A and B are shown apart, each in its own frame.
Chain A
Amino acid sequence: MSKQNRHQNHVIPGNQPGSHIPYFIVHNSYLITIFFLLSWAWASWWMGDVLRIAYERSFFATDVTLMHGLWQQSFGWLWFVGRALLTLYRWPLLGGLLVAVLLAAGAGLLGYCLRLSWRWRWVQFLPAAAWMFWTAHEGISLYYMHDAGRILIAPLLIAVISGLWAVVAKLTRRPAPAPGNSASGKVEWGGRRFPFALLFYSLFLLLLFIAPSLYLTHRHPYLRPLTRMEVQLLHHDYEGMSRTAHAHAELSYRQMAGFYAIALARTGHLADQLFDIKFDFEDIKGKSYFGTPNRCLDYHVVDCNYHAGLVRSALHYAILNLTSDGPSLHTLKYLTKIALIEGDWELARKYLRILGKAPFEGDFVRKYQPMVGHSELLKADAELSAVISSMPPVHVLENMYPKPCFLGYYAGQRFLGSKESQTWGAVACLYSKRMNDFLRFAQQYAGTMPPRSIAEGLVTQVSKYPELLKMFPQLNMEVNRYSLFLQEAEAYMQDPKGGSQALFQKYQGYYPYYYFFGNLPSKEQQEEQVQQEFNAGVN
């Protein structure tokens, strides 16, 4: 065959006489390119924080001993591969790129295999769409109480299976007419010309990403702000955490509230701003290990206990996580920091050695390795020194306090040591509405202007204890506002749920509103029973 003939047999549709459509548009690569870019944006920006935290709640290493538990599981080898892919989410842009490549490759190859005409090309995106909807449906259960290694397996399988199919197709099929062209050689779709097809597919692709995003926002509205706050916590960006919480103040989930409290404690605004967000907690739609509904009540307990200075309780829950979920970066990092704080140097070395086996955790190891055996370096670290200074000053037992301990201890312990801890105690009592205990903690502010929430809490007790106005003369300016609030709230005293909704916008952040209308326990919460499936003796 001559060179000229070969050229004639491979006519580029877009260059045919009568066609006004460029080659790159007619060819599937146009759609795939758009799809790739949208995938990248979706997987790195929209889902970036979620999958970054999924990475933190996962663990990957090539060490046989460390991965033994995973390999024992059914499909453990598959989750192993999935965890390996997920490690790229150490940098969400890179992880998103991987996802985009897998999805785009899968779609393109599937389109090739199916020899789809323009009319049917949307079919090639269905597996990717299904995966995106699945991630949106799973929400926090993508990685919590379930193996995060599952997340990227579907995109990988789509790409691999489509690739294998494409190889087989390439080897076996006969030449086909160029896709997307009518007999006349012009691109038509439903009797219409190119612009309509272009518009249709552009809108289709946009919808393809918007729909699962909206579904995620509807089904798991907490997930993106929650994981944003967790990522910010990883970077010690406490101001950022606070901003994130304020930006989503209408969302009311105890997990978000927990991270918000960490941010406020670290920035010294716990007594000013805690009640700025809503506390009518909704339940997270998580799934237990067995697939049954689960509220993920322990999701944030290690973080909160640790930052509240209750490192033993943090250790308790970190070990529980280690037992039930296997090692994760999240757990191992806390175990390392707790071992350092406790002066368990060999234990810290052990955890750092293990973290050193993870591909991209060198920064963490390099930061904390020098602290082993050098307690003076711990005091120079802002986070560790803050935790150390918050630790209980006297010997107490965890069982003596209601759970979660970061609330139960501060609300229930009489001797808290530092002034900062006393403030936390006062705020914990405000949160728990334990006003007698609150008054005991609030005495430290006598004669001064207390922080906002403390003052607002005190004013709710003035009618009961008028002498408070003598101890806190500055409360007089709060009394008028409180009186006005009571007048307005009077109508809702028999209907707290109604008052909660009606007054939130006006009194958001005002403690008396919280006192009367905030954090009202639902019937389900009162009847919550702790799942005991794995509970057993002592080890």
Chain B
Amino acid sequence: MLVVAGVLMSACSGRPSSLPSTFTEVADSARIYPDYRDVTIPPNIAPLNFMVLDDAADAFVADLGGLVCGAGSDGKMDIDTAAWRSLLTAQRGKDIEVHIYARRPQGWVRQPGFTLHVAEEDIDPYVTYRLIEPGYELYYQLGIYQRNLTNFDVTTIYENDRDKRQGESHCINCHNFQNNGTERMYLHVRENHRGTVVTHGQEAHKILIKHDSIIASGAYGNWHPFLPLVAFSTNKTEQFFHFKYHEKIEVFDQRSDLLLYDAEHNEVRHIIRTPDHFETFPCWSADGTRLYYCDAKMPPAKVSRADLAVIASYDSLFYDLYSVPFDTATYTFGEPRLEVEASAQGMSCSVPRVSPDGRYLLYALALYGQFHLYHHSADLWVKDLQDSTVTAYPLTASNSPDADSYHSWSSNSRWFVFSSRRDDGDYTRTYIAYFDRQGQGHRAFLLPQRDPEYNLMLLKSFNVPELTRTPVPFGQLEMEHVIKHTEAELATYKE
């Protein structure tokens, strides 16, 4: 015990390094960023470095269940990873009490503490995301990265051009993995070098989904849990700014359908193709026998101009959640079934994701539309797929007043990561939340960074967080070779 205590006491690189011997208790709570108060954390998460925001103090000490960490006037707590690991191992399934001491002109004060709840279950150790400015039309430098959640290591899966070169710029987006593994993945490349990079084990190749009957190449996609199939939406997407409105921007589809891509045979076909319905955001069930998706009926035109018809009706587009059965032997689909009729309540669904244990359907719900990343009203909701007597409900503890949207489950169904704009309303950040066995989400916490100020300085958004159990076996060089130096193979369209 003494040895462990000794390790914990000397574990922090900050200053000062020990608890003050005398202090005064004060009632005002310490302001910390990120706000890690009373959150539930995985036992394998990286240190929750944070900074104390207190202009009146010039030094700080945090006591995290015996692990003492100090900070100077910048308030930045840099917790040693090894000591943190020991602490979490010892406290798995238990709580860690945190107290913060601040040195103010009148002396040391201790502020009311808070608790970190350490869950029993680990989270999948890798999250893959894209970093891009919250720009509305353009891109320049962007990349897809993989973060090891157990420490602060970040590896680059692919970054586009570092310099502006005519004919070379390209956008990358919408990566997805099969069943929380990295055996199969895909990512899209737009503009120059366009196509979709599809990987299988150590092999990667670029394909192109293009046909007269297809609106555009695949957009939002989801790998079948065990077959070499991807369900894609194909969308004609537009956006516009509000001059005076509580939302700043709208992203909407003028048209959309669903596609099935067979990676083994490089074939593509329509799943659903309708002129007056917008189908999007496909997602497979855990056993691969159903496909969930969002569907909105095109609202009656409010204006005579055809090109403005959907724009004028942007707030009348309500997406419901449907599912359609899938025969894994014949690759055929059955009749659609309504799962969540959000439109009946004047609401709209987006991004359905089934938990890997097959029990819960997690989706985003907002007042209208489908691009809820830009909707302040967007919250995460859950539908119990095994108990039809339970109506869908919001994950109140995990949600925030701002947009909470794009989400990904951990393979054990006990954690999910999601995109949230709760920090400042404009820059999307990756949040992590515990999902207990009663189907409730716990208070979410910001993906920890070595420098707790990182997210305040970063002028880019975290897009499309996807959890995986293993690291992606590809890096910049391999991806660059595939993207820039191989021709895309045109997928065969099957009627």
Contacts and interface: CB of A to CB of B under 8 A. Distances in A.
A399 B140 CA distance: 23
Contacts of B461: 539
Contacts of A72: 141, 159, 162
A391 B425 contact: no
Nearest to A354: B457
B241 A397 contact: yes
A320 B239 CA distance: 14
B137 A536 contact: yes
A434 interface: no
A66 B138 contact: no
Contacts of B133: 319, 322-323, 539
Most buried by A among B140, B454, B459, B461: B459
B431 to A, nearest CB: 15
B237 A353 contact: no
Contact of B135 (A392, A394, A539): A539
B166 A290 contact: yes
A393 interface: yes
Given A398-B241, A538-B371, A319 B136 contact: yes
Contact of B244 (A346, A395, A536, A538): A395
Contacts of A203: none
Contact of A344 (B136, B162, B191, B424): B424
A73 B191 contact: no
Given A290-B166, A346-B424, A323 B244 contact: no
Given A538-B371, A539-B463, A395 B245 contact: yes
A397 B248 CA distance: 10
Interface in A386-402: 391-400
A316 B136 contact: yes
Most buried by B among A290, A315, A316, A350: A350
A533 B166 contact: yes
A349 B251 CA distance: 27
B226 interface: no
Contact of A312 (B139, B159, B244): B244
Nearest to B192: A533
A324 B138 contact: yes
A320 B138 contact: yes
A65 B454 contact: yes
B140 A292 contact: no
B173 A537 contact: yes
Contacts of A73: 162-163
Interface residues of B, number: 48
A327 B141 CA distance: 12
Contact of B242 (A325, A397, A533, A536): A397
A397 B311 contact: yes
B240 interface: yes
Given A312-B248, A344-B424, A323 B458 contact: no
A196 B451 CA distance: 65
A310 interface: yes
Interface string B58-72: 000000000000000
Interface of B: 132-141, 159, 162-166, 169, 171, 173, 190-191, 237, 239-245, 248, 251, 308, 311, 371, 423-427, 451, 453-454, 456-459, 461, 463
30 contacts: A65-B458, A72-B141, A74-B162, A319-B135, A320-B138, A323-B133, A323-B140, A324-B138, A325-B140, A346-B424, A391-B244, A392-B243, A393-B244, A395-B245, A396-B242, A396-B244, A399-B311, A533-B166, A534-B139, A534-B140, A534-B169, A534-B191, A535-B138, A536-B171, A536-B190, A537-B171, A537-B190, A538-B136, A539-B133, A539-B463
Query: Which 5 residue pairs spanning A and B have beta carbons closest together?
Result: A323-B135, A290-B166, A398-B241, A536-B171, A399-B240
Given A74-B162, A353-B457, 17 more contacts: A65-B451, A69-B141, A72-B162, A310-B243, A319-B136, A323-B138, A344-B425, A346-B425, A350-B424, A354-B457, A396-B242, A397-B242, A399-B311, A535-B191, A536-B190, A537-B173, A539-B135
Interface of A: 63, 65-66, 69, 72-74, 289-290, 292, 310, 312-313, 315-316, 319-320, 322-327, 344, 346-347, 349-350, 353-354, 357, 391-400, 409, 533-539
